[in-house]
Structure 1
Amino acid sequence: MSVRRGFQVASIGLIAGLVLSACGEPPAESDNEDKGGDALKACMVLDVGGVDDKSFNEASWAGLQEAKKENSNIDISYVSSSSQTDYEPNLNAEVNKGCEVVISVGGLMADATKKVAGQHPDTHFAEVDAPSSGKNVYGMQFNTAQPAFQAGYLAAAMSKTGKVGTFGGEAIPPVTIFMDGYYEGVQYFNEQNDENVKVIGWNVDKQKGGTFTNSFTDKGKGKSIAQSFLKQDVDMIHPPSGGAGLGAGAAIQESGGDAKMIWYDTDGCVSAKEYCDFMLTSVTKHMTKAVKDYTLKAAKGSPPTGDYVGTLENGGVGLAPFHESEDDVPDDVKSDLEQIEKDIIAGKIELKSPSQPKAG
């Protein structure tokens, strides 16, 4: 099956400017030019996978580092979690060492964050990939179903075999939201172009099924799943599974074939550049900027409250550049992606993913 070409639309800029706006009280950027500012002790509790997971841990920690670059009086530190049983002890330890702001990373930490924050009402908390759970907890969520929809359309358009695949780390909303959008984007491509590209590994209408590594660190499991996909003639793989997803890159690299990977959370050609040659694009959520802006405002004495939801409209999510694949993507497919973005923002395309965070 040859590369498919979609409907024609006028060319516009591919991705809107990456300026975050929030639902609820927004984080504000600092304009300090002297790298100084009010002091703040800001601490982070990472999920399993470590600070160099090429995904949400790494991107979130980068936000604290960026905040410190702008305000050198912000004291930053992090602690890693080896398992889910570490969440609550780690959060309590950060409070006990005098952290004024504690940022937890990952939706799996939501219950522990809610409990510890409730026990320490004078400490400000924020959580990446979970909604606010109290007056002193700021929620940072990202509607990645939107750019994943574009990614699914792109994968279907670029597939030569008519089979694309996706697998996740665990069956939790911050993961399945990627898979939902990807699946829906493929179906939209089929509808618009009278095609029948198949999705292996997920169906948005069957939330209890799907293919998962059940780990965010097991690269070997990710590689094994990707290899099974390749044996089924899948030539586009979207693996939102933390560090386990790196296994897909290894499998594609070893196969010597034409398969491509669509990364997630961060721009894979930056965070996992060893596999850039095999990446078509990445579905990104701009956690670094969200964490940075939250921290800078907290240092000014006004930690944001309520919820932030990153969307295509406010630049909180998007597709990364095509990098090495830039010349491979036909202009009309790029135009289709541009139009899809406009239509999602305008509400002309409605996604049905049940994992989409609610605004406000």
Structure 2
Amino acid sequence: MKTTKKAVVSGFAMIGAAVLLAGCGAAPESNGASGGAGSGASDYLPCMVSDAGGFDDKSFNQLGKEGVDAAAAELGSQTPIEVESQAETDYASNLQSLVDQGCNTIVTVGFLLAPAALESATANPDLEYVSIDDTVDSDFDGQTDAPNIKPIIFDTAQAAYLAGYLAAGTSKTGVVGTFGGLNIPTVSIFMDGFAQGVEKYNTDNGASVRVVGWDRAAQDGSFTGGFEANDTARQTAQAIIDQNVDVLLPVGGPIYQSAAVAVRDAGREIALVGVDADVFETDPTVGDLLLTSILKGIDVGTKDAIVAAGNGSFDAAPFVGTLENEGVGIADYHDWSDRVPAELTSKIEDLKAQIIDGSITVDSYLAG
């Protein structure tokens, strides 16, 4: 995994600037261009394959599904066919089943689905594909490997930077932590941005807040080996909490649920930071634990791509979500609002403005 991951990151570093040039314009419009049944969109069939996290992950699979469903409703198209994958071995067969059912556009979710998506797209050049969270650039030449695939990707390091600064500023123990599902770029980008935000807080305030679970120099850290909410994820969270952590960022869909169990078992105040969606809204059962969430506009980006495709205007140019185009961001502090000092909130807004205007550069494989 480490060798593969290094090769992947190397390739992504090559594509960053080229992709950003294509994708850093305005964020996808949430209302899109409505074709409706009268435009012929009623014959259009959008489809989707989840990764192993499933559509009820309260995270990126769920957001992608919401985007597809909203687009179908706006278009007046056929009801989307949406297939859940239980394991990586399901990806190819699930994609083929959608091809066989006459899908016009197929949305795939996640880095791990990219090889199967490429194989399917290459075999079916007349179909359209939307890849959430991966550029599908297996040869690392800076271009998506098939002209009928549109990548929707997110420079979440920018938003994670803000969350890291916030975490450091609210920590009472001086130790914050993070862990992920797999050490792949779309996971580690959160962890690395988070650590950079903590470093900035330390520099600004002469502090020494420590990050447990991610080593920026080694580009490695604590990982569960998958994206399931299971006892391995709980134990991984527990091992980090045991190091006096009082703010914890789990990155990997449902694994936050296992982290929440470990937090409650700890019997002391520990804040969670969610990812992808505003987890306070998608999963109220953990709302009291959430300091904030690092957001991706997956639902909006997916809806925009499907609406365009349904209206006959499929565009394969990558969309890259940033703070500037509001493709990424951080959620409201909700129940933790009264525990975040006003001056810290103001500082977070200042940092956001500086990232947008280029005064601050957050390192990531997507940074231009």
Normalising by structure 2, we get a TM-score of 0.87
Are the counterparts in 2 of residues 36 and 73 from structure 1 also a CA contact under 8 Å?
A: no
Identify if the C-alpha distance between structure 1 residues 26 and 89 changes in structure 2 by more than 3 Å, giving closer, same or farther: farther
Q: 8 Å contact 2:36–2:76 — kept in the other structure? A: no
**Which of 172, 195, 200 in structure 2 is aligned with 1:188?**
200
Residue 285 (str. 1) matches residue 296 (str. 2): yes
Moved more, 192-201 or 216-225: 216-225
* Post-superposition CA distance 1:245-284 (Å, at most 9, x none): 2111111122221110000011010122100100000001
Aligned AA (1:292): K
Q: 1:35 to 1:285 in 2, by over 3 A?
A: farther
Alignment length, in residue pairs? Answer: 336
Give the structure 2 partner of residue 199 of structure 1. 211
Separation in structure 2 between the aligned mates of residue 26 and residue 102 of structure 1, nearest angstrom: 21
Query: Over aligned residues, Cα RMSD in angstroms?
Result: 1.9
**Counterparts of 2:236 and 2:363, CA distance in 1:** 26
Q: CA deviation at 1:218?
A: 3.3
The residue that corresponds to 2:159 in the other structure is: 147
The answer for the alignment partner of 1:78 in structure 2 is 82
2:147 aligned to which of 135, 148, 170: 135
CA distance in 1, matches of 2:304, 2:33: 11
Question: What's 2:259 paired with?
Answer: 248
Does 2:180 correspond to 1:168? yes
**Contact 1:54–1:271 (Cα < 8 Å) also in 2:** yes
Q: Distance in 1 between matches of 2:85 and 2:36?
A: 35
C-alpha displacement of 1:192: 0.6
1:73 offset after TM fit, Å? 2.2
In the TM superposition, what is the alpha-carbon distance from 1:34 to its structure 2 partner? 7.4
Give 1 or 2: higher helix fraction: 2
* Residue identity opposite 1:89 in structure 2: S
Instruction: Return the match for 2:366 from 346, 356, 360.
Output: 356
- The runs of at least 4 aligned residues of structure 1 exceeding 6 Å deviation read 33-36
1:302 deviates by 1.0
Secondary structure of the 2:264 match is helix
| Distance change in 2, residues 1:217/1:357 (3 Å) | farther
Native 8 Å contact 1:24 1:306 kept in 2: no
From the superposition, tell whether residues 59 and 195 of structure 1 become closer, same or farther in structure 2 (CA, over 3 Å).
Answer: same
Retained in 1: the 8 A contact 2:26–2:325?
no
2:190 paired with 1:178: yes
- 1:74-113 equivalences under 5 Å are 74-113=78-117
Q: Percent identity?
A: 37
The counterpart of 1:344, out of the listed 355, 365, 368, is 355
Q: 3-state SS of the aligned residue for 1:127?
A: strand
Secondary structure, counterpart of 1:251 in structure 2: helix
Q: Which of these residues, 260, 268, 286, is aligned with residue 257 of structure 1?
A: 268
Alpha-carbon distance in 2 for matches of 1:241, 1:223: 13
Single out whichever of 172-181 and 319-328 deviates more from structure 2: 319-328
- Written as runs of structure 1 = structure 2, the 5 A alignment for 1:15-30 is 22-23=23-24, 29-30=31-32
8 Å contact kept, 1:220–1:244: no
Work out the CA distance in 1 between the residues paired with 2:104 and 2:25: 21
Counterparts of 2:85 and 2:32, CA distance in 1: 30
Does 1:271 pair with 2:273? no
User: Are residues 33 and 87 of structure 1, via their aligned partners in 2, closer, same or farther at CA, if it must alter by over 3 Å?
Assistant: closer
Change (3 A) 1:288 1:226: same
Unpaired runs of at least 5, structure 1:
1-20
The structural deviation recorded for 1:219 is 2.9
| Matched residue type, 1:141 | I
Report SS of the residue matched to 2:48: strand
Structure 2: 5+ residue stretches without partners:
1-21, 136-143
What displacement does 1:30 show? 3.0
Bigger mean CA deviation after superposition, 141-150 or 129-138: 129-138
Partner of 1:15: none
Looking at structure 2, the residues matched to 42 and 150 of structure 1 have their Cα atoms a distance apart, in angstroms, of 35
One-letter identity of the residue aligned with 2:351: I
CA contact (8 A) 1:135 1:306 kept: no
Larger CA deviation: 177-186 vs 28-37: 28-37
Who is 1:63 aligned against? 67
